[in-house]
Amino acid sequence: MHVRTSAIVLSVRAHGEHGAIVRALTPDDGVQPGYVPGGHGRRLRPVLQPANIVLGEWRSRTAEALPALTVELIHSRAPLYGEPLAAAALDWTTALTAAALPDAQPYPQLFQGLSGVLDAIEAAPGARGWAGAVVRYELLLLAELGFGLDMARCVVTGTSDDLTHVSPRSGAAVSRAAATGYEAKLLPLPSFLTAGGTPDPAAIIDGLRLTGHFLARDLLHGRAADALAARARLVERLARALG
């Protein structure tokens, strides 16, 4: 097994006295794990910061063995970890990707989606510039893993107009007319997810509530549920920042 490509660092776990097991998302080969000698040491720790872009080279003699991984830094996002809100967004998007995706399965759209979200966080100091992109990435990940929401038409009437809610059971959209009287049992569907545009703070929070329900129910359970702690930190900080 030999893979050499750029990759986004997703997670780093200490292994042994100085080594680390790293999982990184590649453009064409999905999530690739590897053992980095010295990866937990002072020299490589800044390189292996989650959300950094590295040039990785994975080598193993058999498909079953954990590959040895060497890395070179291409682009560092480490300075963003000095900003609590941006740091929470980086922590969550990389933790979600690491927890949800199986190893060695190609997800080129998710690679592009995660790259776009991380670029947006880096480019825009305020949450309004990237929070909507986080919600859209969560929806993309759900769809790529077979848990996509049906937001094209109302599950009750079949109309594609004035869709305002989503059923928490089926993940299908519900129109305003069909939702009347049942709003408390449904999840709000913010319009930026169907019509585009820049979301206002209330729409961002509604979007996070929507995707969070399905992420917790369908993807992040068992050991993967630990990733939800990173999401809780992000949602709390976003709520304060957006006021």
Report the CATH number at residue 27.
2.40.50.140
Query: Do residues 121 and 228 share a domain?
Result: yes
Coil, helix or strand for 229? helix
**Domain boundary, last residue among 59, 76, 93:** 76
- The CA distances from residue 73 to 24, 43, 202, 241, in Å, are 13, 11, 38, 32
Query: Do residues 124 and 211 share a domain?
Result: yes
pLDDT-based confidence at residue 63 (cuts at 50, 70, 90): confident
Query: Do residues 219 and 159 share a domain?
Result: yes
Query: Do residues 141 and 120 share a domain?
Result: yes
pLDDT-based confidence at residue 225 (cuts at 50, 70, 90): confident
Query: Do residues 55 and 101 share a domain?
Result: no
Query: Do residues 186 and 219 share a domain?
Result: yes
Query: Do residues 46 and 11 share a domain?
Result: yes
Which domain covers residue 49, as residue numbers?
Answer: 2-76
**Domain boundary, last residue among 76, 110, 130:** 76
Instruction: Please tell me which residue, 109 or 63, carries the higher pLDDT value.
Output: 109
Query: Do residues 225 and 116 share a domain?
Result: yes
**Domain boundary, last residue among 22, 48, 76:** 76
The residue assigned the tokens 């050991």 is 223
Query: Do residues 196 and 210 share a domain?
Result: yes
pTM, entire model: 0.94
Query: Do residues 117 and 15 share a domain?
Result: no
Query: What pLDDT sits at residue 163?
Result: 97
pLDDT at 166 over 80: yes
Encoded tokens for 232? 């809780």
**Domain tally, the chain:** 2
Query: What pLDDT sits at residue 40?
Result: 86
CATH code assigned at 156: 1.20.1440.120
Share the mean pLDDT of the chain: 95
Q: What mean pLDDT comes out for the span 127-155?
A: 96
Query: Do residues 116 and 235 share a domain?
Result: yes
Query: What pLDDT sits at residue 125?
Result: 67
pLDDT at 230 over 80: yes
Q: Which residues contact 88 (CB under 8 A, 6 or more apart)?
A: 230, 233, 234, 237, 238
pLDDT at 223 over 90: no
Query: Do residues 114 and 173 share a domain?
Result: yes
